[in-house]
Amino acid sequence: MAPLAAAGLHHWNQSEENEKIGLIAVTFDQRNHGSRELDPLSNEAWRSGNERHAQDMFSTYHGTSTDTSLLITHLSSYVFSSSDRQIDTNIVLGVSLGGHAAWQCLFHDPRVSAAVIVIGCPDYFSLMSDRARLSKLPSWTHSSPPGTHFLGSRDFPLGLIKAVENFDPAGMLLGRPDRPLRVFDGQAPSAIEQTRLLPMLQQSLQGKRILNLSGDADKLVPYRCGQAFIEWLSLSVAPGSWFAGGVLLENLIFDRVGHQMSPDMVISAIRFVADTLHEKVAAPTAKI
């Protein structure tokens, strides 16, 4: 992430607006990764012998999302300990697990006004159900039809289901895979559903900017696992839709790109960050 942060800083510092709004880039390791690794097995999948793969993965990046919010709370007091400058715009960018975490930051921290999600997924139920199917877990195969009893099994316990419903974007808004909203037909939700969803979307996404970058050849985090939710969200926030909310959602899928951040993705991410800052230039209170 450090090279990407450096590239983003360099790009912004070449613009004329950088004297009006400064940019600080902060990078850190995901929980239990890199310098923060404590238990290597917790980072492995079912196929590699980690029986708690679903719990470990979700709790790891949920924790990283929490870490990001803590960092936002305290960063200004360290960076500007002897200055009246303030940080008033927070943009998160994450890749892979960091992309999953970025989705949660976007939905749960009102101070985050924009997010760049790279090869991340907003639908944990869908992602892990797909992995359980491909891994041929008994909790998936030993039912008719297959997968009927996966959610609620020891591979995806009830406690995890509740956590996903509380913190995962698709889990929060659409519920479990057997809920009616999961059948996306391109239509707006019913009036009853809109009444439930409207305050959630207003609190989570009002006025925010989102760039979602995916590779069409990604086998680890396939775009298809989040596709239904992203299409549903795109329809919901489109101008003139039932919830416009001033949300910008840009969804880009890159041909022949696997589970990696391609050079074109880097360009798109840097451009999006710059565009977000350009919008802040005219704001009289904008500092950082």
Local structure of 137: helix, strand or coil:
coil
pLDDT tens for the chain, residues 1 to 288: 889 999 999 999 999 888 889 999 999 999 999 999 999 999 999 999 999 999 999 999 999 999 999 999 999 999 999 888 889 899 999 999 999 999 999 999 999 999 999 999 999 999 999 999 999 999 999 999 999 999 999 999 999 999 999 999 999 999 988 876 677 777 889 999 999 999 999 999 999 999 999 999 999 999 999 999 999 999 999 999 999 899 999 999 999 999 999 999 999 999 999 999 998 876 655 444
Residue 181's pLDDT is 66
Alpha helices in the chain (DSSP H): 2-13, 53-79, 97-108, 124-135, 138-141, 158-167, 169-174, 191-205, 223-237, 263-280
Q: What pLDDT is stored for residue 255 in this prediction?
A: 97
Which residue type occupies 94?
Answer: G
Q: Is the peptide bond before 145 cis (omega within 30 degrees of 0)?
A: yes
Which pLDDT tens digit goes with each residue over 83-115?
888 898 999 999 999 999 999 999 999 999 999
How confident is the model at residue 137, as a pLDDT?
97
